[in-house]
Structure 1
Amino acid sequence: MSGARPEKIGVDPPERARSPAVDSFTSDGLRFDVTEYGASSTDGIPVLLLHGFPQTAASWEPVARRLADAGHRVLVPDQRGYSPGARPAGRRAYRVEELVDDVVALLDAAGGGPAHVVGHDWGAVVGWALAALHPERVRTLTAVSVPHPAAFVKAMVTSRQVALSWYMYAFQLPGVAERVLGRPGGLATAARRAGQSPQRARRDEAALAAKGGLRPAVTGAVNWYRAMPFWEHRGLQLTVSAPTLLVWSDGDVAISRAAVDGTPRWVTGPYRLEVLSGVSHWIPDEVPDRLADLVLEHVAERG
């Protein structure tokens, strides 16, 4: 007989380890809804999409499908205040540190590794904070529309950003947002005035109304603004080391170029700014294919 190894009969090759599929997770005793696209495989690093105000995971669908079709596992949560099972009482429960802990809990539920993080609007703020506070959890960061919070705060006192952010002060008044945005058509009207299309504005209002009622959803969403004075890391004056792409549009009525231009100071890793001409604040809705291309390029270069 030769020295060939005997063939093992009846033993299947080991299966490739797979991460658990995620349609919900818990954090701080709260239950969050998640939409997952693509394969739940530990082969690759997942892409995490974080929505902004006043939207839900549904706003990411065109981008998410493009990323999944390219072979990525994509996780899209309804965040704190938006998931009906995650609406704690009180403003302090919506501090950015709490929002970041929610994302960490989601990544733990999805396998525990890092992610390529993409956030729009308030989702970008959470992405910046996650990258600053938990750098080991962020392989790449794509911030859409909103620059680094410290750059934004500085622009509030050095540029017209303070005038563009008037609504943030109005939201601090008890009950005002609920009376204006919590009535049928109110939220959609506000979104249209900010550049959103009528069809998508109605979609976003309907999506929130379907999650336990419009008024409670508005309170949960607006509490993100009301919690800002209680952040432990005021202005989030912390640097980010992850490879970072900031995508901003010159038709944005809420974010000034001054805030964008102050961002590189707060990024110690590779940084790139992409300016989309003639596009409104609602980048994932208005140019989803363009945004998906940018994310795929960024992930391929830095992943």
Structure 2
Amino acid sequence: MTHPHRLTLTTASLEIAYEESGPATGVPVVLLHGFPYDVRQYDAVRDKLASSGHRVLVPYLRGFGPTRYRNERIFRSGQQAALGKDVIDFLDGLRIGQAVLVGYDWGGRAACVAAALWPERTLGIVCCSGYTIQDIAKNAYRPASPAEVYRRWYALYFNTDLGPAGLAQNRNEFCKLLWQLWSPTWHFSEAEYQTTALSFDNPDFVVTAIHQYRHRYGNAPDDPNYQELEARLAKQPPIAVPTFVLSGGMDGVEPPPPNDPHRDRFTGIYHRRILPEVGHCVPAEAPEEVVAGVAALLARG
């Protein structure tokens, strides 16, 4: 196991806490976690990439762990544009011109946004959920299938008056249940879960998550700082950088269909693989597949 350096950097909105491993001269690889997870789900991926000579950077997303908004006046936004811009701000803060981006869940969306809007900063992406950039206005009025509504119960709950209080008061049980439902074949330990659950004690965890899930249904306002970016994302721009999609066949929230519904959104080198016995948290459940994806992406790019 590597012993990452724990560091922080300042952007316009955030004090981003992150872990860094591997040689400073290696190809930068940024590992982006999802909700409700944190950097620990990348430990095995981090170790393998760092030992093979990559510079590995694992930030805590806004609202998680020791990452903090810089002051009380800053909008606690969880919207897709904010997540994607955070990635670019992170690279800027480290003076990194280009990096490989790896992401799942919120992190997968952040990687897609960064790759679509700033392709010159992205060597390629390994995405564990396909193309997840949303046309918010259209998404808010799109009737979902009963099966999708069933899988998205948590997001719909967050859009009720009880949602914020329910997440705040029961965050430990709530988030553990999501892990269990979304990854039915992942036998994580109680200690493993509780180590990550510390990140949910961030004072802005609830408000950021609630904004994220309300915004995507058109029930929360844009942060004014991201309105121009959201307008560009509403057009669902293509992703031209090399991309590997790794989807868990047992994913309890986003089960991948056999046909590829997002293929036409990717215009560069592209590969998609469904991992039959893997759930939603691909980096923790199948770290070797993520590492292989990064290696193949760099080899083909």
TM range (shorter): 0.7 to 0.9
1:139 equivalent to 2:127? Answer no
Q: TM-score, normalised by structure 2?
A: 0.80
Distance 1:201-1:251 versus aligned 2 partners, 3 A rule = farther
Please say if residues 192 and 201 of structure 1, whose CA atoms lie closer than 8 Å, have aligned partners that are also in contact: no
In the other structure, the counterpart of 1:224 is: 212
Which runs of no fewer than 5 residues in structure 2 stay unpaired?
none
The aligned length equals 278
- Please report how far the alpha carbon of residue 215 of structure 1 lies from its aligned counterpart in structure 2 after TM superposition: 7.0
Structure 2 CA distance, aligned partners of 1:235 and 1:256?
A: 24
- Does the 8 Å contact 1:142/1:246 carry over to 2? yes
Asked if residue 207 in structure 1 is aligned to residue 219 in structure 2, the reply is: no
- 2:160 corresponds to: 173
Residue 62 (1) aligns with residue 44 (2):
yes
Alignment check: 8 A CA contact 2:63 2:202 kept: no
Match of 1:102 among 76, 86, 105: 86
Matching residue within 93, 102, 106 for 2:77: 93
- Judged with a 3 Å threshold, the aligned counterparts in structure 2 of structure 1 residues 134 and 214 are, in CA distance, closer, same or farther, namely closer
Name the amino acid aligned to 1:199.
F
Aligned-residue Cα RMSD (Å) equals 3.0
Q: Deviations over 1:138-192 (max 9, x none)?
A: 11111113433359988x6575434432322222224425424643433213322
Match of 1:274 in 2: 273
Is the Cα–Cα contact under 8 Å of residues 31 and 85 in structure 1 kept in the other structure? Answer: yes
Residues 147 and 263, structure 1, Cα contact 8 Å, conserved in 2:
yes
Runs of 4+ residues deviating >4 angstroms: 87-92, 150-154, 156-160
Aligned identity (percent) is 26
CA distance in 2, matches of 1:68, 1:130: 23
| Aligned residue identity for 2:299 | A
- 2:110 is matched with which residue? 126
Q: TM-score w.r.t. structure 1 length?
A: 0.80
Deviation for aligned residue 1:293:
1.8
Change (3 A) 1:201 1:220: farther
Inter-partner Cα distance in structure 1 for 2:131 and 2:267: 15
1:187 has 2:175 as partner: yes
- Structure whose CA Rg is larger: 1
Unmatched segments (≥5 aa) in structure 1: 1-20
Secondary structure at the aligned position of 2:89 is classed as helix
